[in-house]
Amino acid sequence: MSSSPSFADVQGAARRLDGVAVRTPLLENARVNARLGGRLFVKAECLQRTGSFKLRGAYNFLSLMSEAERARGVVGWSSGNHAQGLAEAARLMGVKATIVMPADAPAMKIANTRASGAEVVLHDRVKESREEIGMGIAQRTGATVVPPYDHPWILTGQGTAGLELVEQATALGVTLDAVAAPCSGGGLATGIALAVKGLSPSTSVHAGEPAGFDDLARSLAAGTKQKNDKLSGSICDALLAPTPGDVTFPLARALLGPGLVVSDDEVLDAMEVAFREFKIVVEPGGAVALAAALTGKLPVKDRAVAVVCSGGNVDHATYARALARAAA
Amino acid sequence: MSSSPSFADVQGAARRLDGVAVRTPLLENARVNARLGGRLFVKAECLQRTGSFKLRGAYNFLSLMSEAERARGVVGWSSGNHAQGLAEAARLMGVKATIVMPADAPAMKIANTRASGAEVVLHDRVKESREEIGMGIAQRTGATVVPPYDHPWILTGQGTAGLELVEQATALGVTLDAVAAPCSGGGLATGIALAVKGLSPSTSVHAGEPAGFDDLARSLAAGTKQKNDKLSGSICDALLAPTPGDVTFPLARALLGPGLVVSDDEVLDAMEVAFREFKIVVEPGGAVALAAALTGKLPVKDRAVAVVCSGGNVDHATYARALARAAA
């Protein structure tokens, strides 16, 4: 693979993921369409193995490693979806995985990562650097570090969701005016942009971010990488990367339209619509693109628009907050 | 169509529904499989248009009516999923629909039925007979009554979910040992049995029911139609038909294995597993077959089993009860 990832690399990833990743459905709802005055399609990537798109990039990465590298294992750090996706990709390929996770991560996420057979190394989020611990493991064992987003193999793997999405819309006779996906470090959004632009150059592609963590939206507007002021404080726990990636940002500049920024309340409302109308469980970070479409920040009126709901790993208490936003 | 519906009739329904009904995904979860010691597949029919399988049978029925009949409209009575499925099928075919609903039905269900363009006639559940009101409308207007389950065109339409399910399992290289579906009047279960037995005669097919409303399970055991003692009192509001249908019961006797009966608590637990592991929203009545598999009443160990999660139209309060059953 060349250093600048291409549409052909996404197609290659799709061949590797065939029969492994779930071809998640593209859902539509007549009532939502009537309310928005257009056609809104939801790519239900929360139904992916491990409950998020992260399996796609991790599995593609592991597939492109050499046999000798795979024999020495992989290491990653994550408190959330990348941990589970990487652990499951490693299990599917028979590769040993070590995942560095904060000791105060939700018990379920740690248990899920272990259930995929990964060794979980817990660290103190305040006193210890997970990068240092992970790099130390890699140096000691010869394991390969699998990054969460800023790598061509990762982002082209995530882009396979975009290939499917356009193929599924085309099968319905629909040419999409716009596509939007949630964005943290930009792996999913840029991978999807590569796929969508390759199949449908006239379709605009947008990244959604939570308010206060809109580093990509501001970076796109400024033309240079911007940082978030905060490292925590959004309900969207999966979307808190501090700045765009070195690999993802040039792609974002070349391929993405203006960023979409939504509030926590708009995210909770979108989760409730996903529950009530689409019958899918979407986590806060997975709902930002849907929130942009429902609030009109990404216009749907007289258009055909697809949004990726990228994950569904949400705890009961947060979900109850979303349900409480509307009367049943 | 002959009076005794056949596998070929399900295939015919599938042709009519092609491009209309969502081909809902067949989901699998590695953790659930590991826990059960086998392979459990979930047919996510809650992702169907209107949030339940009911669109399939209603659309098939309307497709088989004559043009002259369709011009006079259709009438039905239902407080739940049949109302929404029939109203949407009528909208899709440009047919006028009148739905008799109890005045105390959840406001959302009435609103959803109206959103599909149906005329809703509200009745007093205690003082008035919805059948009489519906039949009166049919006689006055010449509209055709569309029954909720006890008709060959309805049950063969519902059976298309079973065709898809077996085709999807076959594409994964899997021969199913057993299939189970929720059961009220038996339209879904018998339709699915026709489809499954036509494609895979060795697969056993079972109907799931809530405890206290297990008229079909007892009828199958007795060999004659049995009645439920109660008309209400289960969390499974969609599964309260008092007795098997005249069309469905002979099919059930010929095609179904022993019935599966689950408690309200087992249903709530299954809804929570659907939320946490499968990321789909399932209503109580839609979760009975899943509950049977998770509790071992429908054994999964060393087998391949598919269950239909037949609907997702659940209010917030009931859903919150399910989430409260397990710590996040």
Q: pLDDT of A239-250, one tens digit each?
A: 888 899 999 999
B88 to chain A, any CB pair closer than 8 A? The answer is: yes
Q: What is the reported pLDDT for A230?
A: 87
- Measured in Å, how far apart are chain B's first and last C-alpha atoms? 51
CA A250 to chain CA mean position, Å: 18
**Pair A89, A217 in one domain:** no
pLDDT tens, N- to C-terminus, chain B (328 residues): 446 899 999 999 999 999 999 999 999 999 999 999 999 999 999 999 999 999 999 999 999 999 999 999 999 998 789 999 999 999 999 999 999 998 988 888 899 999 999 999 999 988 888 999 999 999 999 999 999 999 999 999 999 999 999 999 999 999 999 999 999 999 999 999 999 999 999 999 999 999 999 999 999 999 999 999 988 888 998 888 889 999 999 999 999 999 999 999 999 999 999 999 999 999 999 999 999 999 999 999 999 999 999 999 999 999 999 999 875 4
Over range A98-126, report the average pLDDT: 91
Q: 3-class DSSP state for residue A39?
A: strand
Farthest-apart Cα atoms in chain A, separation: 58
DSSP A277: I
B54 as an active site residue: the answer is: yes
Give me the residues of A, 268-287, that contact B with CB < 8 A.
275-276, 278-282
Q: CA dist A256 to A196, A202, B299, Å?
A: 11, 12, 50
Look up the ipTM and state it: 0.95
Q: What is the reported pLDDT for B105?
A: 83
CA pair distance A271, A305, nearest whole angstrom = 18
Q: What is the reported pLDDT for A327?
A: 52
Is A256 within the bounds of a domain? Answer: yes
A192 token code pair: 């999807």
- The one catalytic residue in B43, B52, B54, B297 is B54
CA pair distance B289, B269, nearest whole angstrom = 12
**Pair B79, B197 in one domain:** no
Is A66 within the bounds of a domain? Answer: no
Among A59, A273, A316, which would you mutate to test the B interface (most chain B Cβ atoms within 10 Å of its Cβ)? A316
- The one catalytic residue in B116, B204, B219, B310 is B310
User: CB distance B47–A278 less than 8 Å?
Assistant: yes
A47 to chain B, any CB pair closer than 8 A? The answer is: yes
User: CB distance A328–B106 less than 8 Å?
Assistant: yes
Domain boundary among B135, B150, B165: B150
Helix (H) or strand (E) holding B99: strand B97-102
Q: Which domain holds residue A198?
A: 7-53+153-323
B171 to chain A, any CB pair closer than 8 A? The answer is: no
Domain boundary among B150, B178, B211: B150
**Pair B186, B69 in one domain:** no
Q: CA dist B311 to A190, A223, B24, B324, Å?
A: 35, 48, 12, 20
**Pair A107, A252 in one domain:** no
Over range A218-225, report the average pLDDT: 97
**Pair A106, A255 in one domain:** no
> Beta-carbon neighbour count of residue B197 at 10 Å?
20
Banded model confidence at residue A297, pLDDT cuts 50, 70, 90? very high
Is A328 within the bounds of a domain? Answer: no
Q: In what order do the strands lie in the sheet with A97-102?
A: A119-123, A97-102, A74-77, A144-145
The set of residues, in sequence order, having a beta carbon less than 8 Å from that of A211 and lying 6+ positions away, is A234, A261, A262, A263, A264
Q: Which of B51, B88, B315 sits opposite A279 (nearest CB)?
A: B51
Q: Which of B30, B317, B323 sits opposite A328 (nearest CB)?
A: B317
* A88 vs B contacts (CB less than 8 Å): 30
A54 as an active site residue: the answer is: yes
Residue of B nearest to A171 (CA): B19
* Parallel/antiparallel/unpaired status of strands B304-309 and B39-44: parallel
B41 to chain A, any CB pair closer than 8 A? The answer is: no
User: CB distance A22–B27 less than 8 Å?
Assistant: yes
The amino acid at B106: P
**Pair B302, B221 in one domain:** yes
Q: Which of B24, B88, B279 sits opposite A51 (nearest CB)?
A: B279
**Pair A32, A137 in one domain:** no
Q: Which of A49, A317, A328 sits opposite B328 (nearest CB)?
A: A317
**Pair A289, A212 in one domain:** yes
Q: What is the reported pLDDT for B237?
A: 87
* A323 vs B contacts (CB less than 8 Å): 316, 319-320
Q: Which of B88, B108, B275 sits opposite A30 (nearest CB)?
A: B88
* B320 vs A contacts (CB less than 8 Å): 320, 323
Pick from A137, A93, A146, A139: nearest CA to A119 = A137
Is A280 within the bounds of a domain? Answer: yes
Is B1 within the bounds of a domain? Answer: no
Q: Is the pLDDT of residue A255 over 90?
A: yes
CA pair distance B117, A305, nearest whole angstrom = 24
Domain boundary among A122, A142, A162: A142
**Pair B276, B316 in one domain:** yes
* B318 vs A contacts (CB less than 8 Å): 328
**Chain B: nearest CA to A42, how far in angstroms?**
12
Banded model confidence at residue A1, pLDDT cuts 50, 70, 90? very low
Q: What is the reported pLDDT for B326?
A: 72
Q: Which pTM value belongs to this model?
A: 0.96
- The one catalytic residue in A63, A79, A184, A310 is A310
- Measured in Å, how far apart are chain A's first and last C-alpha atoms? 51
**Pair A136, A219 in one domain:** no
How many residue contacts between A and B have a Cβ separation below 8 Å?
Answer: 83
Q: Which of A22, A112, A316 sits opposite B31 (nearest CB)?
A: A112
The set of residues, in sequence order, having a beta carbon less than 8 Å from that of A80 and lying 6+ positions away, is A105, A109, A237, A238, A313
* B44 vs A contacts (CB less than 8 Å): 47
Is A65 within the bounds of a domain? Answer: no
A111 to chain B, any CB pair closer than 8 A? The answer is: no
Q: Are B75 and B86 in contact (CB under 8 A)?
A: no
CA pair distance A131, B326, nearest whole angstrom = 33
User: CB distance B30–A88 less than 8 Å?
Assistant: yes
CATH number for the domain including A99?
3.40.50.1100
Among A45, A110, A279, which would you mutate to test the B interface (most chain B Cβ atoms within 10 Å of its Cβ)? A279
B53 to chain A, any CB pair closer than 8 A? The answer is: no
Higher pLDDT, A127 or B222: B222
**Chain A: nearest CA to B112, how far in angstroms?**
8
* B30 vs A contacts (CB less than 8 Å): 49, 88, 91, 115-116
B22 to chain A, any CB pair closer than 8 A? The answer is: yes
Q: What is the reported pLDDT for B320?
A: 94
**Pair B62, B180 in one domain:** no
**Chain A: nearest CA to B22, how far in angstroms?**
8
Residues pairing with B206 in the sheet: B180
Q: What percent of chain A has pLDDT over 70?
A: 98
**Chain A: nearest CA to B73, how far in angstroms?**
21
Is B2 within the bounds of a domain? Answer: no
pLDDT in tens, A67-110: 999 999 999 998 789 999 999 999 999 999 999 998 988 888 89
* A49 vs B contacts (CB less than 8 Å): 30
Q: Which of B51, B115, B319 sits opposite A34 (nearest CB)?
A: B115
As for how many domains chain B has, the answer is 2
**Pair B39, B61 in one domain:** no
DSSP A45-113: GGGSGGGBTHHHHHHHHHHHS-HHHHHT-EEEE-SSHHHHHHHHHHHHHT--EEEEEETTS-HHHHHHH
Q: Which of A91, A281, A328 sits opposite B316 (nearest CB)?
A: A328
**Chain B: nearest CA to A277, how far in angstroms?**
8
Q: What is the reported pLDDT for A280?
A: 98
CA pair distance A77, A125, nearest whole angstrom = 12
Is A251 within the bounds of a domain? Answer: yes
Residue of B nearest to A22 (CA): B27
